[in-house]
Structure 1
Amino acid sequence: MKLSRCPVCHSNLHLDALVNDGAASELLALIAPLDGGLGRALVAYIGLFRPAKSDLSFSRALKLANETLVLSNNRDWLRVALSQTVASLRAARTSGQPRPLTNHNYLKKVLSSIDEQAVVAPASPAKGKPTLEIKSTGHVETKAESQAKWEAQMAKLRPGKAMAPKEAS
């Protein structure tokens, strides 16, 4: 069954050919249940392994996808790391370094450098307006701690004046 045409080379894309190829079928089954942000980031990342003068085989793409998904159990961290890696390497490629990736070492470095506060959940399509939610598993600051920090900061900024905190309405 013909699906559509490739936007790059304009060749026909056949669903039955993808399903009949074992590695292609497994790759589709692996990517399909992923949330949209992670799925897109993973596909873009795998594309960085494609050699300049040939295509990436489905079996190699499947192996890369499996290796990538086991790098982190936290899908939000992985999504952010993949996005940062793709953006960084695409920028490097436009400046004259078109070499394909050969391993996951760069992604591992990006994963280890990500701060948990920097990981935000993707916007929920059901809400209408895109929102950002900061994921944190750390300490939740109490009102008293927040008050003490505010007073300490005000004392630094205005050393001779005592200021009363503004009440939240």
Structure 2
Amino acid sequence: MQCPYCRKSFDPREAVAEAEWYDIISLIPEFGPYSKLVMEYCELFGVTPLRIKSKKLLRLLREAAVLFRNESFKFHKRQYRISRTGIAEALRTVCNKHFETPLENHNYLKKVMIGISEREQREEGIRREKELRRKEASIMAGVREESITADEYKRRAGIESLAAMVGKDM
């Protein structure tokens, strides 16, 4: 086959493979510090030799990129939220496990992520409750945490100028 522009002959399969590799390489930065871990996870699906199975690798990387972007996943019609560090923890757990055969789907990873997601949600609930109690205690003690502008303070205190308050107890 010939290129319609330069008339150079090429193999269409090579052109498709090159485009797939371009997409694969452009996806890698989306995983940040976890890119090697994601690649290791993809290898569990038997994507080697990479030259031949680039289409499968690209599909797996796209699915992982969606997981990292959304920081959420669905399993059995239920939506779960999980942080990027939680995803990385789950990937490490899966990659450290020895599988006799290549993985067929993401179900094992999702089951690991469910436990991590539930733990993160519990920790977030505890953190929010502590923050709420801290705010409540400061309100009960009469301490205001909010920051206000000088104009807002003048309005609340009913004064014309802050300069008039210099040297006086507020």
TM-score for both structures, normalised by structure 1: 0.50
Richer in helix (by share): 2
Larger Rg: 2
TM-score for both structures, normalised by structure 2: 0.49
